[in-house]
Structure 1
C-alpha cells in the first residue's frame, strides 16, 4: 500500500500544477482588464495594477467610436448563425445517427478529414463563391459561412450524443402512432438539451469572436463586427488607442464569459455524453 506521505505528495504536486496552469491562463485576461482601467493610451506600465484607474476608455468606446453598432452587428450575426447552425447540426446529426443510407460512412469520413484542416484554408474559395452570389459585405454571408461550418466542427459530438439515446424510446413512440416529425420534435429535441446547449454555445462563441472571415467579407463601417472594428481602430496610421482597444476586448469577452458560467452544467454534460460514442 502506498504511504500517506506519498499520496499527500502527489496530491500536493497536482494542486501545484493546477494552480500554476490557472495563473498562466488567467494572467493575460487580468492584464487586459487592468490595462483597460489605466490612464493614458499606452499598454506599457511599470506595475501590473495601475496606480490610477479610470473608466474613461469605456465611456469613449460608446461616445467616440462605432462600438455600439459593431456590437449589435456581431450580436445579430452570432444569434442567427447559432439558430441556423444548431438546426442544421441537429437534423444532420440525427439523420446520420439513426438512419443507414448509401454514402453515410463516406460522409462521416469526409467530415473527419475536413476537421483536420483550419477553416481559413478555404478563404479564397469562399470569397469567390460569395462574390459570384453577390453576397459580399453582408451579414447574411457570414451567417451562411458560420452555420455551415458548425456542422463539420460539431458533428461527431452531436452524433455521439444521439447514439447514447436508446432506440427503444423511438420504437415505443412509433407504436403509439407518432410520426417521424412528431417523434423528432417531441422526444429527441427535449432529450438533446445538453448537447444542443453545448453546440449552440460553441457556435455562438466562434461567431462572436471571429475576425478572419468577417474581415474577408465585410467592407463598410456600417457592416463591421466587433473584431474587425477594433482591429481597424488600432491599425490606422498613427493610432495609439491601445487602452481603448483593451476596454473593447474586455467587453467582447464579457457576454461569452457569462454564457459559459451560467451554462456550465449543460456544457460539461453535453460534451461528455457526446464523447462516449462516436
Structure 2
C-alpha cells in the first residue's frame, strides 16, 4: 500500500513539474513582451532580456496619435467590429444549436454531418473566393464586409452549444408546446434563461475571433487608409523595416493593451466559460 501511495505521489509530482516547465516556456515570450514595452529604448533590443532603463513613455505615445500610430482609433474600430460580430455570431450559433438539438426534421442528421465535414477545411481555403465575392458587391474596405465574413459561418460552430442544449430537460419544452408556445418562445423564454454558461462561452468565443484576427482584416481592409485599420493591422504596420527602429517598443505596448480587455472579461466570466465547455462536452 505504501509503495502504491509512493508511486502515485511521484506521478503527481512529475505531472506538476512537467506542467510547470511547459507554463514557464509558454510565459517567456509574454514576459519579454511586457518587459520590452516598459523599455525606454524605441527599437528592438535583443542584447538583454530585461530593459536597462524602464519607462512608460511608449504607453503615453500610443495615446498621442501621429501619422503612423493611431492606436485609439484602431482600438475603437476593432471594438465596434468585435461587438457587432459577437452579437450576430452568438445569435447564429445559439439558433443553429437549438434547431439541431431540440427540433426534429428529415435533413437534420445529413446537415449535421455536412457541417462537421465543412469544419474540417481551413477557412483560409476560401479567402480568394470570399474576397472576390465581397469585391463584386463593393464590400471590400468596409466594416460591413468584414463583419459579414466573421459572422457568416459562425453557425458552423454550433456543436458545443448543441451539447449543452442536449442537457436541458425535454419535459419543459414539451410542456410549453402543450400550452401552445411556439418554438421561438420556447427558445427565448425557457431554453436561453437556463443556458447562461454556454451563452457566456459563445459570447467570448465570438468576440475573440475579430479581436485577434489579422489575415481576413488585412485582406479586406486593403486600401491603406490608416484611420480604418483594426488594431492587428495597425500594430503590424509598425513592424515595417522603415518604422521598426522607432516603433517596436510602442508595438509591444500596444500588444499589452490589446490583451487587457479580453483578459479581464475572461477572468470575470471564467466560471461560466468553463461550465459552458464542460456542459457542452457531455453529449454530442
TM class, shorter-chain normalised?
over 0.9
Distance 2:153 2:54 in 1: 42
**3-state DSSP of counterpart to 1:276:** coil
Distance 1:29 1:52 in 2: 19
Structure 2 gaps of 5+ residues are none
Give the drift of 1:236: 5.3
Distance 2:263 2:134 in 1: 32
Q: TM-score, normalised by structure 2?
A: 0.93
Which residue does the alignment assign to 2:57?
A: 56
Which residue does the alignment assign to 2:165?
A: 162
Q: Is the 8 A contact 2:238 2:248 kept in 1?
A: no
Distance 2:197 2:73 in 1: 32
Sort the Cα spacing of 1:238 and 1:207 in 2 relative to 1 into closer, same or farther, 3 A.
closer
Structure 1 gaps of 5+ residues are none
CA deviations 1:124-157 (Å, max 9, x no partner) are 01001101111111111111111123222x2111
**Match 2:148 to one of 144, 149, 152:** 144
Which residue does the alignment assign to 1:93?
A: 97
Which residue does the alignment assign to 1:171?
A: 174
**Match 1:185 to one of 182, 188, 200:** 188
Task: Confirm whether residue 135 of structure 1 aligns to residue 136 of structure 2.
Answer: no
Distance 2:107 2:226 in 1: 44
**Match 1:203 to one of 195, 200, 206:** 206
**Counterparts of 1:205-220 in structure 2 under 5 Å?**
205-218=208-221, 219=223, 220=225
Distance 1:50 1:238 in 2: 20
Distance 1:43 1:277 in 2: 49
Q: Is the 8 A contact 2:43 2:244 kept in 1?
A: no
Distance 2:62 2:153 in 1: 32
Q: What's the C-alpha RMSD, in Å, of the aligned pairs?
A: 1.5
Task: Confirm whether residue 118 of structure 1 aligns to residue 119 of structure 2.
Answer: no
